[in-house]
Amino acid sequence: MTHTLLHQVLVSSLVVPVGLAEPAGQRSATSTGAWLDERTWLRADLMVFREEQEDPRTGYVRGAPLLAVEVTSDASREPDLGAKKDVYERFGVPSYWVVDMKGDAPELLVYELSDDGRYAEEARVGWGRSCSLTRPFPIEVTPDEIFRRLPCRPAPRRLMTVTEQTAERAGTDRIGPDLPHSEDPILIDAFGRRWPTGAEKVELWDGCPVFYGGWDERDVEIAERAYPGRVVRLDQPPGELGTMTILPGPSPEPDDAEDPEITLDAEETVEPAAKETAGSKETPDPEG
């Protein structure tokens, strides 16, 4: 079984128990985007949210969902347990689950916001174990029961680019606005119409596009052309699975509107405003 297919199976296995547990007024969806603010758009493998949070035009979730679930891959494990977890925490997502695939069997890590606004590990549930959770709704979690289903045969999957996703949801293939200046954050509307293709997942973190997949120096060159003036960072050695992040470019140095000082000697300088009079003799008044 390919990792992509295993990932799909694990996500789909969570859908039924989560859907049965969620109360009225809540909804769950897979691979949907959460519009956390104008500069941050995250795509969770599974998300639970209030019905009124769903944007009917795009299908995106507005604001922090009640629960975000990520199933790790070789490309996403580090951000899922690190930087992306920090983003969910900062935007106040109450519950965050990670299905960690580092071993032969999945392990479920449950994080919940504590009173200080930081995530605390509520549970770590491995194969053969179970736990009862109360947030965002009462549910009994038993990994070997949830993830026991295996596919009969692999199904081909074509990754949809963020451009295609946005166009499909909006019902249009229009081209979005130009990118902002290289040191300014990229907002969602402009981001949703741009490169790349072939990414495992694409997100926007604080105005910085983040692409999951296998990237090398050639991809960096393409990204530099697609996002001129910005800094392209591989978050792992070239050729390994992980993320590539597009950072703002350096702010341009302000133009020096004033001319430099004129040095007369080691002891004396003349300010630019005195250039025209420096070294000149005073002209006498012809009538004086």
Phi and psi at 285, nearest 5°, equal: -70, 120
pLDDT for the residue numbered 77:
94
Hey, what's the torsion of the CAs at 82, 88, 90, 91, to 10 degrees? Answer: 170
Which band of pLDDT confidence, cut at 50, 70 and 90, is reported for residue 174?
A: very low
Residue-level pLDDT at 80: 96
Question: Residue 274's pLDDT band (boundaries 50, 70, 90)?
Answer: very low
- Report residue 117 CA to chain centroid gap: 20
* Residue 202: alpha-carbon gap to chain centroid: 7
* pLDDT confidence tier of residue 3, bands split at 50, 70 and 90: low
Ranges 60-64, 78-82, 217-221: which has the least confidence: 217-221
Across 139-149, average pLDDT: 85
**For residue range 42-55, what is the model confidence (pLDDT) as tens digits?**
999 999 999 999 99
> What pLDDT digit, counting tens, does each position of 210-219 carry?
999 989 898 8
The whole-angstrom separation of Cα 158 and Cα 178 is 27
What is the per-residue pLDDT across 207-258, written as a single tens digit (0 to 9) for each? 999 999 989 898 898 889 888 999 999 999 998 999 999 999 988 776 654 5
User: What is the mean predicted confidence (pLDDT) over 140-149?
Assistant: 84
| pLDDT of 13 | 86
CA–CA dist 127, 100 (Å, integer): 12
**Most confidently modeled range among 7-16, 109-118, 214-223:** 109-118
pTM of the model: 0.70
Cα 162 to Cα 224: distance, rounded to the nearest angstrom? 18
Give the C-alpha distances (Å, rounded to integers) separating 59 from 16, 131, 166, 185.
20, 32, 10, 24
Percent of the chain with pLDDT over 90: 49
| CA nearest to 109, candidates 90, 119, 122 | 122
Average pLDDT of the chain, as a whole number:
79
Q: How many CA atoms lie within 13 A of 113 on its CB side?
A: 19
Structure tokens at 9: 């199976």
Predicted confidence (pLDDT) at residue 26 exceeds the cutoff of 90 = yes
> 198: phi > 0 → left, psi -120 to 50 → alpha, else beta; which?
left
